[in-house]
Amino acid sequence: VVPIQKRNGSRGSASVWVMEKRGGLIWVMEEITENIASLQCDDSWNVVSAKGEVEKIWGPSVVQKGQSITDLLPCLPSESLETSLEKGLVKIVDLKHFAARTAAGVCIPVAVGKGEGDRALQVSSFPHVAGMMVLSSSSLNVISSNSVFSSVLFGQERPEGLHITELVPDFDEILDVLTEEDNVPLVDGIVVPEHSFRRARTLSILRDGKANAASVFTEPSGLLAKHRDGSTIVVDIQLRVVKSGTFFSKDKTEKSSDRSSDSDDSDDTIAVTELVYALWITYSRQLHAAGPAAGISPSSVPSSKPTSPTHDPDSDRPSDAGADARTTENRKASVEIKTPTSTLSQQLSEAASEPLAARAAQPVPPVLAANVKNDPPAKRTINDYVILEEMGQGAYGQVKLARSKKHPTKKMVLKFVTKKRILVDTWTRDRRLGTVPLEIHVLDFLRRDGLKHPNIVEMEGFFEDDINYYIEMTPHGLPGMDLFDYIELKANMDESECRNIFKQVAGAINHLHTKALVVHRDIKDENVVLDGEGRIKLIDFGSAAYIKNGPFDVFVGTIDYAAPEVLQGRSYRGKEQDIWALGILLYTIVYKENPFYNVDEILDQPLRIPFLPFSEDCIDLIRTMLDRDVDNRLTITEVLEHPWMVGA
């Protein structure tokens, strides 16, 4: 993570990595959100003043003048607090990574540094943290980890050699539940998604009599993890079993000197292959710091204890999923339960696979119809709404569910588009709208007569203040339920349902490409929302552009869905790249995982087909949409005319 300065002079943070490819370097820089606050203290370590993004880190009304610093950072080293502030700061800054206690009583990872002034602490917090950690399958010891990730989340810069229970105390018990209760075969290629870990934790809690399992399952909060300073934080984990090959020189491994130096065997290395557990660990302040984790207080976190190496996978155990899926159970139960299980296990399985429409949810009141007018929108402010919940956050702003104060039964989805984050090239001038972001211009264009489409989100209006534009949209179905969540919840999606969802997305793209002459440029599962009847809407036109303005040479969208020619820095027209993203989307719907795990694989890796869940036509459609030759890639018309799309 490095500090950056933008063209408009504003500063921020970004993650950076560089890869050498075909004699060149591919630089990937992604802006990330970092909240920073400054605390000025007196000699007794009491807060004198606080400034910056204090409420975003601790919540409202937590930081008060005269308050002890230990109320905010409860695990600062006692020896630092018992000495002078100047000397204590040196030790604190050296350790750097701690956990802060929020208004909800939940601990979140933060970094503490020297602030401006002799008695100031600078506290920074990332709302989202994610990274990879690799474990030995036999010992459950950490083999490798990204040092930046492990420092930020766990406060452990180099966790290599630690048993995983030093970081996630219940991990071994949860793994036992997965293998013994659910009969998940931990063989090469198997992926155990986040919801399976949460479910296994639920069973473990019930088995130990710690809490009501039903409440834990209906309001999952993740897994309890342990920070270096002893605090409890909450994370989510996805596990993938992979083969790891290590090459050794023969002269280092062979003890015998019988082999002559002029042996005919020219291979001077040997390969040792072992199974490892690759953990994708994620933390989200919005998700994991909303309140106490499933009713379990921090004091109830079990102490770390090593386990005997009983987790060595049996490669002869059968698997329905085949070898190479990031989830033969990613977001979906990959391995069917073949043997009788406990009543609770059966009930939880049924709950997890229950169709979305049957789930109990807060009913959304009918939304009042809004007439689209050609006149400029009436002057409104954000104070006309009551914010009900946060729905998401992206590169350019936030999305929130709100209720109109004037019409209390009317709910609205508000997208906050932060003005200072809008790229210079995406401002557009309109005689009627004035100077607005391209997203608003496109959405306004798409609500004209003859350009509306049932599967494309409709903007009801917009307004602005000095900080943001606010885009008003009618909620579609259960607010916040996108295709990513639905795939994860719906463990039994059949071919006809997959086809129905994808047809609607493809229909929306066909309308954009052939009638509106617009490219979306950020098609992904998180930008498709569903209602309880399986109807979808394509959302988030923050990266959209008019085809006439192409070709384009700036990357927008999401790397996982980016076409190879875009990642190579070549100019692109837009429609072909939308088709590539549709291919990634269909693969994700079918296999519950992305086909490529990094930029290198997007550029070169052959498409993984771990097993055939549906017909050959479905796989053929995926292959032809993911053709790396842009000229051979299908058009949207050819996608809709493909045999799988017109099948029963």
Residue 330, domain CATH? 3.30.450
Do 134 and 120 share a structural domain?
Answer: no
CATH of the domain at 68: 3.30.450.20
Q: How far apart are CA 589 and CA 186, in angstroms?
A: 23
What does residue 306 show for φ and ψ, rounded to 5 degrees? -70, 150
Same domain, 40 and 26: no
Looking at the fold, whether 121 and 132 belong to one and the same domain comes out as no
Write out the H or E segment, with its range, that includes residue 19: strand 11-21
Q: Helix, strand, or coil here: 571?
A: coil
Q: What 3-state class would DSSP assign to 101?
A: strand
Residues 182 and 322 in one domain: yes
Q: Are residues 188 and 78 in the same domain?
A: no
The number of CA neighbours under 13 Å toward the Cβ of 425 is: 12
* 258 found inside a domain: no
Global confidence as pTM: 0.55
Whose tokens are 């606050």? That residue is: 37
Whether residues 119 and 228 fall in one domain: no
The C-alpha atoms of residue 270 and residue 273 are separated, in whole angstroms, by: 10
Which residue, of 88, 104, 125, is where some domain finishes?
125
Spell out the residues 6+ positions from residue 205 whose beta carbon is closer than 8 angstroms to its own.
211, 213, 216, 294, 296
**Mean pLDDT per segment of 10 residues, for the chain of length 648 residues?**
80 79 75 86 86 88 85 86 78 89 89 83 89 90 89 92 94 89 77 80 75 51 89 90 59 40 45 78 80 42 34 36 36 35 43 42 41 56 90 77 90 90 79 88 93 94 91 80 85 88 96 96 93 89 92 87 90 95 96 88 89 90 96 96 87
Statement to judge: residues 504 and 580 lie in one domain:
yes
Query: Residue 605 sits in which domain range?
Result: 483-646
Q: Identify whether residues 49 and 185 lie together within a single domain.
A: no
Q: Are 339 and 183 a contacting pair, CB within 8 Å?
A: yes
Distance between start and end Cα atoms, the chain: 50
In degrees and rounded to multiples of 5, residue 58 shows phi and psi of -100, -20
In a domain, 411, yes or no: no
Task: Kindly give the pairing relationship between strand 427-430 and strand 434-437.
Answer: antiparallel
Q: What domain count does the chain have?
A: 4
Has residue 280 been placed in a domain?
yes
What are the respective helix, strand and coil percentages of the chain, to the nearest 5?
A: 30, 25, 45
In a domain? residue 436: no
DSSP strand E in 137-214: where? 142-145, 191-192
Annotated active-site positions, please? 522
Alpha carbons 483 and 488: distance in angstroms, whole number? 8
- The whole-angstrom separation of Cα 581 and Cα 497 is 20
Residue 259 C-alpha from the chain's centroid: 53
Q: Are residues 610 and 621 in the same domain?
A: yes
Backbone φ and ψ of 644, nearest 5°: -65, -35
Residue 21 and residue 121 in one domain: no
Q: Residue 633 gets which letter from DSSP?
A: S
* 110 lies in some domain: yes
Three-state secondary structure call for residue 289: coil
